[in-house]
Amino acid sequence: MVNKQLWEQSVDMIIKSIWIYTIAGILGAIFGAIDGILNPVSFMAAMSGEEGPTGAFGVLDTICQIAVIAGYVLFFLNIKKFVDVQPTDADRAAAKNIYIAYMLLIIGVVVRFIPVIGGIAWLVLVIIGYVKLLSGFKALRDSANMTPCAKNGADILYKSTIWILVGAVLSIIPFVGGFLDAVITLVVFFTILRGWKQIGQGAPEDTGTAPEPGSQSQPQPQQPENQPQE
């Protein structure tokens, strides 16, 4: 059964969480760079792994990093809600692949800092993550239960994921690779928001809710047959 309101709410919060962790990450990088320029003692201490004096921009950087974490937590909570609201096992499995894929990509970022094996683990997790991500979006795009608007949104997200991979490959080109990747990433950011928005707008209509306990219709007593008149 589909709950249209929960579908729309979960997708709306997914979009908001993407804005939160993206903008917070950008602002954090800016504030961190300004703090490093204005407060070089703090920057050198951070580079050596020691605590140093923190200026106002350093505090803002910390707040932004907390906001990034909060944005990701919000994102995963609502992706999980999106999984649960799917009406069929096939669509639920597709949405779950998307949920697992994002989890693997985040874990990959963390394990990359582990010496020696971190790089290998990161590569394996990224490959599995993107395979699952493409598989999930493709399955939703081809779903027989999705509305045309939601299918179009899933298609946009599928193509956006491919462009992210293209940008990652182009980034290895000397001199211009980083610039090309940055341009693609910026464009893809807005196409991802558009894709999720269309999925939200394409929520299926409510198909009803489960009956309340005890509300099932009771069998009506059978009327006695007409007795023959004496």
Domain assignment present for residue 212? The answer is no
Residue that has been written with the tokens 């490093």 in this structure? 36
Q: Within this chain, do residues 81 and 92 fall inside the same structural domain, yes or no?
A: no
Cβ atoms of residues 44 and 37 within 8 Å: no
Same domain? 173 vs 186: yes
- My answer on whether 77 and 33 are in the same domain is yes
3-state secondary structure of 212: coil
In terms of domains, do 160 and 190 share one? yes
- Residue 222 belongs to some domain of the structure: no
For residue 146, give the nearest of 82, 214, 77 by alpha carbon: 82
Backbone angles phi, psi at 219, to 5 degrees: -65, 135
Distance CA 177, CA 171 (A): 4
Domain count, the chain: 3
221 located within any domain: no
- pLDDT by residue for the chain (230 residues), tens only, comes to 568 899 999 999 999 999 999 999 888 888 888 877 877 655 555 555 555 445 788 888 889 989 999 999 999 999 999 999 998 999 999 999 999 999 999 998 888 888 888 889 988 999 999 999 999 999 999 999 899 999 999 999 999 999 999 998 898 888 888 889 889 999 999 999 999 999 999 988 876 544 444 444 444 455 555 555 54
- Considering the domain architecture, whether residues 107 and 48 belong to the same structural domain is answered as no
Supply angle C-alpha 191, 90, 17, rounded to 5: 35
- Could you tell me the residue range of the domain that residue 102 belongs to? 88-135
**Secondary structure (DSSP) of 89-133:** HHHHHHHHHHHHHHHHHHHHHHHTTSTTTHHHHHHHHHHHHHHHH
Establish if 167 belongs to a structural domain.
yes
92, 61: one domain? no
Q: Chain-centre distance of CA 72, in angstroms?
A: 8
Q: What Cα–Cα distance (Å) separates residue 156 from each residue in 53, 69, 163, 187, 216?
A: 46, 26, 11, 12, 43
Q: Is residue 225 part of a domain?
A: no
Q: Are residues 118 and 192 in the same domain?
A: no
Task: Classify residue 229: in a domain, yes or no.
Answer: no
CA distance 195 to 201: 10
Last residue in a domain, options 85, 104, 119: 85
Determine the pLDDT at residue 140. Answer: 95
Query: Rounded distance, CA 154 to CA 148, Å?
Result: 10
Residues 100 and 35 in one domain: no
**Residues 13 and 81 grouped into a single domain:** yes
